[in-house]
Structure 1
Amino acid sequence: KDCVVDYLVQQAQITDADITIELFQALIDGTDGISSLIINCVTAWVKQPGMSDKLASIRDSPDAFVDQFINEVERVYTAGPNHEYARVLTKTTFTTPKSSFSLTKGQLVVVFTESINEDVTVWSNPTSFNPSRFENGTPEPYKFTSFNLLQLVNRAQGVREEFTKAVLRSNMLSLLTCMWQMVPLQSYELSEHTVSNPTPVGQLMAVSYHKRHGLSANSVTTAGNPQDWKFLEQPEAKEYRQSVESLGEAFEDCRLDFWTHAMIQAVKNRSLVWRQPTARAEITLPKYQKVLEKVTLSGTNIEVPVEDEDTGNDLNFAQAHTFNLLRDLAPLIDNMDATWLPGEDMEGYVMGKVGMMWPRVNVHWNDRYSDRALELIAFNGVGQHLLTKLPEAHEDGSYYTIALEFMYGLAVREGFANYGGDAFFTQEGKVVKIVYGGEEYLSDNEQWEHIKMAFRGSLLARVTALDHLLGTHVTVANYLTTASREQLPPDHPLRRLIKPFTFRSVAINYSAASVLFWPKGMVDRAFAFTHESLENVWAYGLKHFSYEPFPEFVANQKIDTVELPFHQDGMDYWTICHAFVSKYVDLYFSSEEQLIRDAAVASFWQFLVEKVPVPKFPTLSLDNLKNFLAHGIFLVSAIHNHVGSIAEYVSDPAFCPSAWVKGELAGRPPTCVRAALIMAAAGLPQPSILEDFSHVMLDDDAKSICQDFTAALVKHQNVVDERNAKRVQPFQSFNPKMMEIAVSI
Structure 2
Amino acid sequence: MSLSNAAMTVAPNLSQVGMQVGSQDGWVRPRTLRGVLGFLRGYPWLVLPMALGSLAWGRLTRNQRIIDDRRALLKLMAKGADYYCSLFWLFRGFYWTSDPHRPASFFAIHEDQPATEPRTLKVGSLELAYGSGDFDAPELRLSWPIRLFYRLLGSLPRIQADNRPLPPIEDYRAMLRDIFGPTFVSYRPITSDPNDPETVRAYMTHDYGAPWLRREGERFVADLSHWESLEVVDPSKYERYGGRLEFAADLSEVSITWQGVRYTPAHRDWAKVRYIFTSTVLLAVVVEQHTVHVHYLNAALFGLAVRTDLTPDHPIYRLLRPFTLRTVMINEHAVHTIIGQSGLLYHGSALSWPSLETLYQHAADSYRHEPMPAYLERQGLLEADGAPAPGVAFADESLRVYGLIDRFVRDYVSLYYADDAAVAADATLAGFWARIVDGLPATAGVAATPTREGLVDLLAVFIWNVSFWHDYTSQTGNSLGDYRLGAVLLKREDVYGTVMPNMQEHLVTLLAHQLTTVQGPKVVDNFHHVWLDDEARAVALRFQQGLWDYRADLEQRNQGRDLVFNAFDPAVIETSVQT
TM-score (norm 2): 0.79
Distance in 2 (alpha carbons) for counterparts of 1:727 and 1:501: 32
Write out aligned runs for 1:628-643 (5 A): 628-643=458-473
C-alpha change, 1:604 and 1:272, in structure 2 (3 Å) is closer
Match of 1:136 in 2: none
Distance in 1 (alpha carbons) for counterparts of 2:575 and 2:553: 19
Distance in 1 (alpha carbons) for counterparts of 2:114 and 2:93: 34
Write out aligned runs for 1:436-515 (5 A): 436-515=258-337
Q: State yes or no: 1:609 paired with 2:440.
A: no
Shift of 1:359: 4.9
CA contact (8 A) 1:295 1:304 kept: yes
Shift of 1:387: 1.0
Q: State yes or no: 1:283 paired with 2:283.
A: no
Match of 2:418 in 1: 590
Letter in 2 for 1:697: W
Distance in 1 (alpha carbons) for counterparts of 2:82 and 2:529: 48
- SS of 1:409's partner is coil
Bigger share in helix: 2
Match of 1:374 in 2: 200
Distance in 2 (alpha carbons) for counterparts of 1:336 and 1:490: 54
Shift of 1:445: 1.1
Letter in 2 for 1:517: I
Using the TM superposition, name which of 727-736 and 629-638 deviates more. Answer: 727-736
Shift of 1:574: 1.4
Which of 155, 172, 175 pairs up with 1:347? 172
C-alpha change, 1:316 and 1:538, in structure 2 (3 Å) is closer
RMSD of aligned alpha carbons: 3.0
CA contact (8 A) 1:380 1:566 kept: yes
Distance in 2 (alpha carbons) for counterparts of 1:637 and 1:509: 15
Percent identity between matched residues is 20
Shift of 1:327: 3.1
Shift of 1:309: 2.4
Match of 2:149 in 1: 323
Distance in 2 (alpha carbons) for counterparts of 1:357 and 1:325: 33
Match of 2:513 in 1: 679
Match of 1:711 in 2: 545
Q: State yes or no: 1:384 paired with 2:210.
A: yes
Shift of 1:326: 1.4
Distance in 2 (alpha carbons) for counterparts of 1:357 and 1:306: 36
> For 1:61-99, what per-residue CA distance to the aligned partner results, in whole angstroms no more than 9, with x for missing partners?
xxxxxxxxxxxxxxxxxxxxxxxxxxxxxxxxxxxxxxx
- SS of 1:555's partner is helix
- SS of 2:246's partner is strand
Distance in 2 (alpha carbons) for counterparts of 1:613 and 1:318: 34
Using the TM superposition, name which of 616-625 and 687-696 deviates more. Answer: 616-625
- SS of 2:546's partner is helix
C-alpha change, 1:249 and 1:634, in structure 2 (3 Å) is closer
C-alpha change, 1:352 and 1:564, in structure 2 (3 Å) is closer
Which of 266, 272, 275 pairs up with 2:90? 266
Write out aligned runs for 1:147-546 (5 A): 242-244=71-73, 258=83, 260-267=84-91, 269=93, 274-276=98-100, 278-288=102-112, 292-297=116-121, 299=123, 300-314=126-140, 317=143, 320-327=146-153, 330=155, 332-335=157-160, 338-340=163-165, 347=172, 351=176, 355=180, 359=184, 361-369=186-194, 370-390=196-216, 392-393=217-218, 399-414=219-234, 415-546=237-368
CA contact (8 A) 2:189 2:565 kept: no
Which of 652, 669, 682 pairs up with 2:482? 652
Shift of 1:360: 6.6
> For 1:177-201, what per-residue CA distance to the aligned partner results, in whole angstroms no more than 9, with x for missing partners?
xxxxxxxxxxxxxxxxxxxxxxxxx
- SS of 1:714's partner is helix
- SS of 1:435's partner is strand
> For 1:91-141, what per-residue CA distance to the aligned partner results, in whole angstroms no more than 9, with x for missing partners?
xxxxxxxxxxxxxxxxxxxxxxxxxxxxxxxxxxxxxxxxxxxxxxxxxxx
Q: State yes or no: 1:667 paired with 2:501.
A: yes
Letter in 2 for 1:617: V
Choose 1 or 2 for highest CA Rg: 1
Unaligned runs of 5+ in 2: 1-64, 384-388
Distance in 2 (alpha carbons) for counterparts of 1:339 and 1:697: 55
TM-score (norm 1): 0.62
Higher relative contact order (CA 8 A, sep 6+): 2
